[in-house]
Structure 1
Amino acid sequence: MNAELHYRPATAADLDEVVGFPQNVDELFFCYPKAVWPLNVGQLAAAIAERRESTVAELDGRVAGFANFYQWQHGEFCALGNLMVAPWARSRGVAQYLVEVMETLARQRYKAPLMKVSCFNANAGGLLLYTGLGYRTVGIVERRAPDGSRVALVQLEKPLP
């Protein structure tokens, strides 16, 4: 793991920064499909309230990434959600680090033998990240993009040792 990266629980003070991570409608759709552009603190706070383990990654002392679980079943699985990385921190290992942190939290706190992720077909970076970390496709379901067009939501899973 990158020695410059650290993680901690997200706090209310982080929200102003995190809402700026998605740079356009597509990026917001990829990380938080139910949100309305532009992401604001109210929308993110609502997501945090109904999710678990909202976590930030810090790079060089700055908030660089955010993720949480949108589903969790103790002893069964956790599902990763809202994964987003600050524009200035992209291509620096933040997303991989954060996925690995969330896998550890799933194992340690939820005794989860399985992590689930979902990724839209147009999110090449996400698909490459997850498959590179050992996630395998288990399903594809139809969803609608903000413009109403059909998109494929690729469902992936990874056993957690």
Structure 2
Amino acid sequence: MSISFRAVNEQDIPRICSFARDRTEQFFFFPAATWPLTPAQLQGSIDKRSDSTVIERDGVVVGFANFYRWETGGTCTLGNVIVDPQARGQGIGAQLIEHMIAIARTRHQAGEVTLSCFNTNVAGLLLYPKLGFTPFSIEERQDKQGRRLALIHLRLAASG
């Protein structure tokens, strides 16, 4: 099995859009998007973000992430993190996030990496602490049906 990373390209976008199997998964991945996620919506997000990256396994795109905030010498904030449903639970997400942390450290000289995770995203909440992220703030949000959610903000010191 061969794992590699590269910048996203236009041909990857329809595949990445297919990774969210339902409205809930899409909300975790891209809360501002409307269901179903279209290539135009994802391209619009990519155009405003930095370091949009895919992870490939044996030449097939199985995950995607980017930064929606990036400051040289400051903080990089991870967003749009998603893994192909067929590849979940196999360490792909962890490898992708570790790669993004390395980009934050090397390309942006980031002092810390942050991300946010909704309280109902159990997979994310179990993964991020394993990678060294710790919660530092909780913000009230609403899902698309108007239900209350907690958006948990986590951070990792770049040297960590």
Q: How does the TM-score come out when normalised to structure 2? A: 0.97
Q: C-alpha distance in 2, partners of 1:142/1:35?
A: 19
- Identify the residue that residue 108 of structure 1 maps to in structure 2: 106
Q: C-alpha distance in 1, partners of 2:158/2:52?
A: 20
Q: C-alpha distance in 2, partners of 1:4/1:84?
A: 19
Correspondences of 1:6-155 after superposition (within 5 Å): 6-155=4-153
Structure 1 residue ranges (4+ consecutive) displaced by more than 6 angstroms after TM superposition: none
Gaps of 5+ in 1: none
Q: C-alpha distance in 1, partners of 2:31/2:43?
A: 15
Number of equivalences: 159
Gaps of 5+ in 2: none
Q: C-alpha distance in 1, partners of 2:20/2:14?
A: 12
- Identify the residue that residue 2 of structure 2 maps to in structure 1: 4
RMSD: 0.8
Amino acid at match of 1:135: F
Matched-pair identity in % = 42
